[in-house]
Structure 1
Amino acid sequence: MRTFRTALLTAAAAGLAVTALTPTPAAAAPAPAPVLPKFLAAGELPASLTPWTAGPVRQGVPQEGSLCTAGIAPAAGARYRDFRTELDTQARQTITVATTTARAEKLAADLRAALETCLDRLKEQDPGLEGEAFHHGGIDIEEGAHLYSIDTSHPEAGSTDIGLYSVGRDGRAVTVVEWGQMGELDGAPLEGFRKTTRTAVAKLY
């Protein structure tokens, strides 16, 4: 009996030794977080008489403003950032990362179409509105960017507003940059906005 018991203890000890020597599978390394496109900094917007202030980066699409492009970009995969100065000049950048390059191409095309038809749609909503819209050409950066301006006035109210817009793409990332203030196109920093757009697309990835 003592011999049998000794044999069991010896076998148990051997089993523990084998278990201790058997390497345990290493835990799978966590997948690296996806690289998110970078936003413009306040100092990268067109020069202004007072400094720009950058708001926080927010998830989704803006609930207000962006009249020309509202409802085009999906909330999923979208983020935006607002900018302002002390002189009521405002700007906004929205970045959307599409699930595929093909969807990003379509989104960029849809956003451009929305900007090209924006003034007509605004006039339909407000028959007293007057204005002009221009396409200021493209920028050779990554998959390309395009610039637009929409100059509006309301004679009854005596107000004039100018907005500059751009759409650019780098791979699956599409960005829209908006800039606006009271005034006319002659007083808008079109070349500065062109430089801002180039920087915005270059910073995506």
Structure 2
Amino acid sequence: MPKHTRSTATLTALTALAVTGLTLGTVLTVPAGAAAPKAPGFLAAKDLPPHATSTWSAGRVTAGVPEVIELDTCLGMALGGGSNTWHREFWTDLDTTARQVSVKASTVSAAKGRYARVNKDIKSCAKRIERAYPEIDASLRDYGTLAVEEGAHVYGLHVESAWGSTDIRLLGVGRDGRTVTVVDWGQMGNFGNAPVKAFKKTTVKAVNKLH
């Protein structure tokens, strides 16, 4: 498991926003005699943006949505709960963490709707954070679309608390057929510390690996 080295103030802000950190996933219960649904393909630790002073580690692909996503201001409404969902956690020895969440919809039309909802929620996320947490300043940057399968989009989110903690987050959303995936990367810092170019490559890999 990763070692958390953030300050108490930073951890408080991240707990409130569910920006980074690791948590146990919710395990889906499969009825007796029923075959467990097959998970889509996931990123490996080597697929994450390189870290300057540490290496990435990866947890197992786990059924369900991690609690930190269910509580998350940006993603919780679109990804929280539901079946046919899997996630994988990634971490370094320092403060950088990431996760991937993938959802298999029942139809292509439903997947299109889920993809649109995730993008919509991310675009409104900064304003919703500031309304919910007056002591937090949040700003979003749209890094554009990516030409992979049925499409992908990358965003950056910066949050700064009144007590001085500052964190940067990159979010990549993509779709291949009935499957929607979200890659969520975060660490202490600001937009200048975000490896946007490398993260775009990670997002493309995430979508290509789904099927």
Q: Which amino acid aligns with 2:104?
A: V
Residue number in structure 2 paired with 1:61:
65
How many Å apart are 1:200 and its aligned residue? 0.3
Q: Tell me what 1:137 maps to.
A: 144
Residue 71 of structure 1: how far off its partner (Å): 3.0
For normalisation by structure 2, the TM-score amounts to: 0.78
- For the pair 1:170 / 2:182, whether they are aligned, the reply is no
Q: Which amino acid aligns with 1:53?
A: S
Query: What is the aligned counterpart of 1:102 among 103, 109, 112?
Result: 109
User: Which whole-Å CA distance do the structure 2 matches of 1:54 and 1:34 have between them?
Assistant: 22
Q: Which runs of 5+ in 1 are unaligned?
A: 1-31
C-alpha distance in 1, partners of 2:36/2:137? 48
Q: Output one character per residue of 1:110-166: Cα deviation in whole Å (capped at 9) or x when no partner.
A: 000110011111101111211320111000000000000011111x31111000001
Which residue matches 2:94? 87
In 2, the alpha carbon distance for the partners of 1:34 and 1:64 equals 23
- Provide the aligned length of Structure 1 versus Structure 2: 173
Q: Is the 8 A contact 2:142 2:154 kept in 1?
A: yes
Residue 19 of structure 1 is matched in structure 2 by none
The C-alpha deviation readout for 1:173-204, integer Å capped at 9, x for no partner, is 10000000000010111101000000000001
Task: Determine the structure 1 residue equivalent to 2:40.
Answer: 37
Unaligned runs of 5+ in 2: 1-34
Aligned equivalents of 2:64 and 2:201: distance in 1?
26
Tell which deviates more after alignment, 62-71 or 45-54. Answer: 62-71
1:33, CA displacement in angstroms?
8.4
Larger-Rg structure:
1
Runs of 4+ in structure 1 off by over 6 angstroms are none
Shift of 1:34: 6.5
TM-score between the two structures when normalised by the length of structure 1:
0.81
Question: Does the alignment pair 1:183 with 2:186?
Answer: no
Q: Distance in 1 between matches of 2:38 and 2:78?
A: 24
